[in-house]
Amino acid sequence: MGRGSILASDGTPLAFTRGTRRIYPQGALLAQVVGYASGRYGTSGLEDSFDSVLTAHTDAIAPLAQLQQIFAGAHGAPRGADVVTTLDLQVQKALVAGIGRYARAAGVVLDPRTGAVLALASVPSYDPNALDANWTTLRTDPHSPLLDRSTGGLYPPGSTFKIVTAADALDAGAVTPDSTFNDSGGFTVGNFTVHNDEEEVTGTQNLTGAFALSSNVDFAQIALRLGVDRWFEYAAKWQLGGNVEFDLPVTRDRLPAKSDVYGGILAQLGFGQASLLVTPMRMALVGATIAHGGTTPRPYLVRRIAGSETGLATRPETLAQPISAETARAVRDMMVAVVQRGTGTAARLPAVTVAGKTGTATNPHGRSHAWFVAFAPADAPRVAVAVVVENVGYGGTYAAPVAREVLRVALSRSRS
Mean pLDDT in consecutive groups of 10 residues from the start of the chain, 416 residues? 92 95 97 96 97 77 41 56 97 98 98 97 98 96 96 97 98 96 88 80 92 94 97 98 96 97 95 96 98 98 80 83 98 97 96 96 89 98 98 94 98 80
Check residue 58 and give its pLDDT. Answer: 55
Residue ranges of domains in the chain: 158-299+318-413
Amino acid 191: pLDDT: 83
C-alpha separations of 253 from 185, 241, 402 in Å = 30, 4, 24
CB 359 within 8 A of CB 382: no
Write down the architecture of domain 158-299+318-413 according to CATH: 3-Layer(aba) Sandwich (3.40)
pLDDT in the model for residue 308:
55
Global pTM? 0.93
pLDDT for the residue 186: 87
Using only C-alpha atoms, what is the Rg of the chain? 23
- Indicate the SS3 state at residue 335: helix
Positive or negative, the CA dihedral 94, 95, 96, 97 is positive
Instruction: Tell me whether residue 122 is one of the annotated catalytic residues.
Output: no
pLDDT of residue 196: 79
Give dist(CA 308, CA 187) in Å, integer. 60
Q: Determine the pLDDT at residue 61.
A: 43
The full length of the chain comes to 416
**What is the pLDDT at residue 416?**
56
365: left (phi over 0), alpha (psi -120 to 50) or beta: alpha
Per-residue model confidence (pLDDT) at position 166: 98
- Give the phi and the psi of residue 65 in degrees, each rounded to 5: -65, -40
Question: Which alpha helices (H) appear in 141-206, and where do they start and end?
Answer: 149-152, 162-172
Per-residue pLDDT at 310 = 54
Which pLDDT score, from 0 to 100, does residue 414 have?
73
- pLDDT value for 69: 41
Q: Could you say which of 49, 122, 159, 215 is catalytic?
A: 159
Q: What is the pLDDT of residue 178?
A: 92
- Look at residues 387, 314, 415, 413 and name the one whose alpha carbon lies nearest to residue 160: 387
